[in-house]
Structure 1
Amino acid sequence: MSSPDALHDDAAYQALRAHDARFDGRLFIGVTSTGIYCRPVCRVKPPRRENCRFFPNAAQAETQGFRPCLRCRPELAPGLSLADSSDVLADQAARWLAQAAHEGQDPPLPAIAARLGVTDRHLRRIFARRHGVTPLAWLTTQRLLLAKQLLTDTALPVTQVALSTGFGSLRRFNAAFAERYRLSPSALRREGAAEPGALRLAWRPPYDLDGLLGFTARRAVPGQEQVDGQVLRRTLAVPHQGQVLTGWIEARFLPQRCELHLAAAPGLRPALGALLQRARHAFDLDADPAVIDPVLASVPGPARPGLRLPGSWDGFETAVRVVLGQQVSVAAARTLCQRLVQRFGAPIDTPFPGLDRLFPSAAVLAAADPADIGTLGIVRQRVRALQALAQAVAAGRLTLQPGDDVAATLATLTSLPGIGDWSAQLIALRTLGWPDAWPAADIALLKALGQTAATRDPAAGTAIAEAWRPWRGYAVFKLWLSLETP
């Protein structure tokens, strides 16, 4: 393996023999006797050591001529976390390329380089050093693995799969499959598909499912979101190729398999690739507990192995929820949000009783009469903040999605009336997935750190939190949970 933080080959082989899920997504094994590459969790009989080649990512395995295993399915593996390399720029570019593949886009590399503040040539150089392949090879692998998942887990027509994964034409799609996998998409569907059903996503254990779902359940808005045991259901609107698709999703956790199964309404299926990315962000599936947990060990409160950040299905919705939560209890914020959804959210049909409303769009709230919002019990200052936020999102000045520039997003947010550092930090934590967010003046945070109303000192709390960089956002969540759960 060529990655600077890669396992030694002997250790990699032991991870394979142990089916160690902690290395899922960070280790792939090419088997020279079959020409197949696998995840370390693959349940087939381990190949002989001399027949194994080890790679830090799927793209390297494919560029060396290996085809993905139809049994363990490399497309299900967790992706890069923010801690996978000190080469942050190369990893960020890789995440953006993966996001583009899942959204069916064809991003020009110069635009990605400009977004990162480097030249195209420099990005190619650091990308190859970090990942061992070119950005184009990485993008092609992401597209093909997504296509493989859609062919295996759905009944989408092959042509729609080709267009959804950004190939542009069926001819290009078939040619890429023939070159990489040495079979046609229709043949792969026949050979590798089970009965089409929910899309599967994997995570690296451990996973604090009780913490994440408990947090979500206490904030679930009736009519729009439900948590039932280890199943989450919600309504969702997704922009896709110039239109807005609406429907419902159901996320079912299977802890014993380290998997999430995601089902979606027929109306959302053209955007399945984007939904997979949203699910990974919403449930923090790409986090690496082996890196994060040791840092959190000194955070006060009960140990929570595999702590995950509650992300976001829709950045605007999450930002609105943060604003509504200013200076009120969790229960009060949930009530205000429910009123907003019932008053301004569009009705929608779902097969789940009680799930019948979409969250209102930024355009709808931006155009609403402030007096109408005020009748819901939302104070005037908060109404002003909500509408300023809605106008910024509707105008495209804020996108509130993973990969956005943190500093620029914080600056734009704090320039809006009624949104200070507390709100901006929490919005960045949940919508951008910024792991080092720290809302220094958060009352619950300071209480969990042992401060009382009389001794409240945000600067002292911030000084304590220096030991938890770059995972202060995870520390925030752990401290909150220490107060919310017995």
Structure 2
Amino acid sequence: MKLDPDVCYKAVSARDRRFDGWFFVGVSSTGIYCRPVCNVRTPRFENCSFHGSAAAAEKAGYRPCLKCRPELAPGGARFDASRELADAAAAMIDEGFLNHAPLPDLAARIGITERHLRRIFADEFGVSPVEYAQTQRLLLAKRLLTDTALPVTEVALAAGFGSVRRFNGLFKSRYGFAPGRLRLSAHNARLAAIPDGDLVFQLAYRPPLAWHALLDFLGDRAIDGVESREGDVYTRTLSLQRQDGQTVAGWCRISPLTNRHALQVTLPPALAGNVPQVLGKLRHLFDLGARPDVIDAHLGPLALTTPGLRVPGTVDGFEIAVRAIVGQQITVKGARRLLGRLAERFGTPLPTPVHGLTHTFPSAAQMLAVPVDALGEAGIIRSRIAAIHGVAQAIVDGKLRLDPLAPLDATTASLLAIKGVGPWTAQYIAMRALGSPDAMPVDDLVLRQALGVPNGRAVATRAAQWAPWRAYAALHVWRAAAQGPARQPVVNLQEVVA
């Protein structure tokens, strides 16, 4: 990624948060690299070099700043199609893919050759995928040492190192001091106050973030026993696969941090080995890679009432598919009741119920094993049972993936080929499971009524002005409609699209 030094230096001087996570500044006089928003005295221009990733800064010989902590920088959602493959690979590395699989497997998952992956990755991030992965492991270890009381051995393993000796040696050679220096400072009153050894992390985002609007959407659709919304706090269960292939059930609790553009994430100790995976899922769930400055400017008047509105994602694509299928032509409340019944009867119980949560949502394999009659007794009609089993079978067979790295057109085509999955369902899945910013279920009744048009074709025509952010436009319209006549939005939707 080519960076203009003059533009970057202006961003550093202004501590412009729009650039946080997009580049890092190395300071030759200190040997440290920082985020553009670091609160230290602005270095002289001639002492600065600018790097497109933390890995590139470390490759150039710089150590991470202990004040602004580069490992806490928000991820970047880029808009240049030529960078999408490199970004997809980076996202998988961030979630620990190379900790248990070789580089050729990563290239195959992205759908390109290993040679091509190396080339585009170096063009985008200035380092090889392996060098990038090594930096991510070190930064995660630094984060665990600073923010948790995990023993150093567990920190090394959780960060993806094969041995403590390897971890200690690489950490000291790269950062100039032993891991114990951070471990000593981690045993403080703040960590001691965390109950039961829970792990606490921060996830940064680019402001604004319409947190209450996001929680309204998730809370209205919360599945009993699986997720809950209490005031500003969202809690849900998770089912994750460990490196040894075993499945572990746990939970996560997320709340906003006062006076910081970050969310606080609390996890139980049982998920220490899955931290990168969990944080990646939560970034997708809360759409933390979004650029609200760009999106809101494009949507114009539509975004005035709720700036920073995000498209809620998911921690599991199959769960969203079941939500969409079950929710066809019934109320949100009715869908919640049925989904809660499915989780209670067919999901995995938590070892110990916590925060009112009792089960994880059933996986595709679990749901496929449920007999048709049992699903019928749970209240699911036969046509929807067939659609749920069809999606589950495609996922289990490896013919369908429902995650942000899945190809949009091929995935929606595969979904539409399953009996019982129509355009509305496929587009809703694309919005939330695939994270497609331009997906929109144009046949949605609320969209038609709010925009004052008779059919989906007319919705598509009216919504064309919002491309490539039509998923965000749909959320704005749904939210305005949900507020009801007592809380009319500032902008008349039909005037906006006239």
1:86, distance to aligned residue in structure 2 (A): 4.5
Which of residues 49, 74, 90 in structure 1 aligns to 2:70?
74
Q: What residue identity is the alignment partner of 1:265?
A: P
Alignment CA distance shift 1:134-1:427 (3 Å): same
Alignment CA distance shift 1:93-1:354 (3 Å): closer
Correspondence for 2:455:
457
- Match of 1:368, SS? coil
1:274, distance to aligned residue in structure 2 (A): 0.9
Whole-Å Cα distance in 1 between the matches of residues 398 and 111 of structure 2? 21
Which of residues 456, 461, 478 in structure 1 aligns to 2:476?
478
Correspondence for 2:40:
44
- Match of 1:261, SS? strand
Residue 88, structure 1, aligned to residue 84, structure 2: yes
Whole-Å Cα distance in 1 between the matches of residues 424 and 325 of structure 2? 10
**Is 1:151–1:193's contact at 8 Å kept on the other side of the alignment?**
no
Residue 21, structure 1, aligned to residue 24, structure 2: no
* Count of residues in Structure 1 that have an aligned counterpart in Structure 2: 475
**Is 2:306–2:476's contact at 8 Å kept on the other side of the alignment?**
yes
Alignment CA distance shift 1:175-1:310 (3 Å): same
Alignment CA distance shift 1:87-1:355 (3 Å): closer
Whole-Å Cα distance in 2 between the matches of residues 381 and 354 of structure 1? 32
Whole-Å Cα distance in 1 between the matches of residues 60 and 456 of structure 2? 53
Alignment CA distance shift 1:288-1:360 (3 Å): same
Q: What residue identity is the alignment partner of 1:104?
A: N
Whole-Å Cα distance in 1 between the matches of residues 105 and 355 of structure 2? 45
Structure 2 unmatched runs, 5+: 192-198, 488-498
Tell which deviates more after alignment, 284-293 or 184-193: 184-193
Q: What residue identity is the alignment partner of 2:260?
A: R
Q: How does 1:254-265 map to 2 (within 5 A)?
A: 254=257, 256-265=259-268
Q: What residue identity is the alignment partner of 2:272?
A: R
Whole-Å Cα distance in 2 between the matches of residues 422 and 365 of structure 1? 22
**Is 1:205–1:258's contact at 8 Å kept on the other side of the alignment?**
yes
Which of residues 446, 449, 454 in structure 2 aligns to 1:447?
449
Q: How does 1:317-396 map to 2 (within 5 A)?
A: 317-348=319-350, 350=352, 352-396=354-398
- Match of 1:312, SS? coil
Which of residues 137, 141, 157 in structure 2 aligns to 1:163?
157
Whole-Å Cα distance in 2 between the matches of residues 157 and 416 of structure 1? 48
Alignment CA distance shift 1:458-1:152 (3 Å): same
Residue 288, structure 1, aligned to residue 284, structure 2: no
1:260, distance to aligned residue in structure 2 (A): 0.9
Q: What residue identity is the alignment partner of 2:249?
A: T
Alignment CA distance shift 1:208-1:65 (3 Å): same
Q: What residue identity is the alignment partner of 2:33?
A: Y
Whole-Å Cα distance in 2 between the matches of residues 422 and 350 of structure 1? 38
Whole-Å Cα distance in 2 between the matches of residues 462 and 314 of structure 1? 28
**Is 2:224–2:340's contact at 8 Å kept on the other side of the alignment?**
yes
- Match of 1:308, SS? coil
**Is 1:309–1:474's contact at 8 Å kept on the other side of the alignment?**
yes
Residue 135, structure 1, aligned to residue 135, structure 2: no
Correspondence for 2:492:
none
Correspondence for 1:253:
256
1:465, distance to aligned residue in structure 2 (A): 2.6
TM-score w.r.t. length of structure 1? 0.90
Q: Could you tell me the percent identity over the aligned residues?
A: 48
1:352, distance to aligned residue in structure 2 (A): 4.2
**Is 1:28–1:55's contact at 8 Å kept on the other side of the alignment?**
yes
Q: What residue identity is the alignment partner of 2:96?
A: A
Correspondence for 2:55:
59
Whole-Å Cα distance in 1 between the matches of residues 80 and 146 of structure 2? 29
1:192, distance to aligned residue in structure 2 (A): 6.6
1:224, distance to aligned residue in structure 2 (A): 1.7
1:191, distance to aligned residue in structure 2 (A): 5.2
Alignment CA distance shift 1:107-1:305 (3 Å): farther
Whole-Å Cα distance in 2 between the matches of residues 243 and 113 of structure 1? 24
1:464, distance to aligned residue in structure 2 (A): 2.8
Q: What residue identity is the alignment partner of 1:39?
A: R
Whole-Å Cα distance in 2 between the matches of residues 205 and 38 of structure 1? 19
Write out per-residue CA displacement over residues 136-193 of structure 1, whole angstroms, 9 at most, x where no aligned residue.
2222222221221122222223233333333323333233323321223333433577
**Is 1:414–1:421's contact at 8 Å kept on the other side of the alignment?**
yes
Correspondence for 1:146:
140
Q: How does 1:198-217 map to 2 (within 5 A)?
A: 198-217=200-219
Tell which deviates more after alignment, 347-356 or 398-407: 347-356
1:429, distance to aligned residue in structure 2 (A): 1.7
